[in-house]
Amino acid sequence: MTRQPLVAKRAEELLGAAVVATAPVAGGDIATATKLRLSTGQTALMKTLTQAPAGFFEAEAAGLRWLAEVNGGVPVPALLAADSECVILAWVEQTAKTPVEAAAAFGQQLATTHAAGADGWGLADDGFIGRLPLPNRACDSWPEFYAVRRVLPYLKLARDREAITPEDAAAVEAVVGRLTRLLPDESPARLHGDLWNGNCLWGQDGQVHVIDPAAYGGHREVDIAMLHLFGLPHLPRVMQAYNDATPLADGWEDRLGIHQLFPLLVHACMFGGGYGARAGTVAARLT
């Protein structure tokens, strides 16, 4: 490890400890990640982003704190420092192994986090999904919130960016019109909000740690649907442990596509039309 003076100086200001060495970390799609070795012997991860949108890192820090409040919930790296320019987290030493025992524990922990609940549908402050704004203003019901805060804003943006065809957009809109009949009535769950495989770190401590939340109060099938959309090792074992702890409503597997529309549209906005076509295909199967 070498030492990047500017990164090290900012970290030292926030942590009150000397940075002995730094090293770039590969894999981030949005932020720049740097590994820090501190004079205290601790290792940390610092995330920065040039010209970050206002509130970007503050929203991430708030989400990490909110998830970490849950006793027995999904493990979250300790938040060491945060400001408008960065977040600094305790380092999670990862392993290439994905033991089934860790998957089972993760399923039970995710159920515990969801069961901790939220004050309503949404969150007091807006957030981000990737670099895109994530509106969180509360609604009276989950079907309303999912329609006007999750699906329709990104459907409009995907149209504006020509990332979805009119036919596929119409199929998505047809599903939106039926949400009140399609979705089971549940209390708001405490969601990670961006729970895909890349945000799940298999640690050498035998636990699955979650990072990069887009947290809010929502339907717990959102997190479940995203895990199924992008995959996770031993996912059937995760789901068995989850359902043993707090069973999902009957028919949850048939509803996965409903809650996959949101991440598919977000990806269409960020990465292009292949995801828009996939959203249209999923929607067409639901109508």
Q: Which of 29, 140, 185, 194 is catalytic?
A: 194
Residue 51, classed as helix, strand or coil, is coil
What is the torsional sign of CA 170, 174, 176, 177? positive
Q: Which of 53, 276, 274 is nearest to 160 (CA)?
A: 276
125 is catalytic: no
C-alpha distances out from residue 48 to 13, 68, 83, 284, Å = 15, 22, 10, 40
- The rounded distance, in Å, linking the Cα atoms of 147 and 27 is 32
Burial class (CB in 10 A: 0-12, 13-18, 19+), 79: middle
Assign residue 174 a region (left: φ > 0; alpha: ψ between -120 and 50; beta: otherwise): alpha
Q: Which residues pair with 24 in a beta bridge?
A: 34
Tokens of 28: 């981030």
Tokens of 2: 């070498």
Nearby residues of 199 by Cβ (< 8 Å), 6 or more positions away: 192, 210, 211, 212, 213
Residue 277: count other Cβ atoms within 10 Å of its Cβ: 17
C-alpha distances out from residue 278 to 160, 163, 225, 235, 252, Å = 17, 11, 15, 22, 20
Tokens of 103: 């998957």
> Active-site residues: which are they?
194
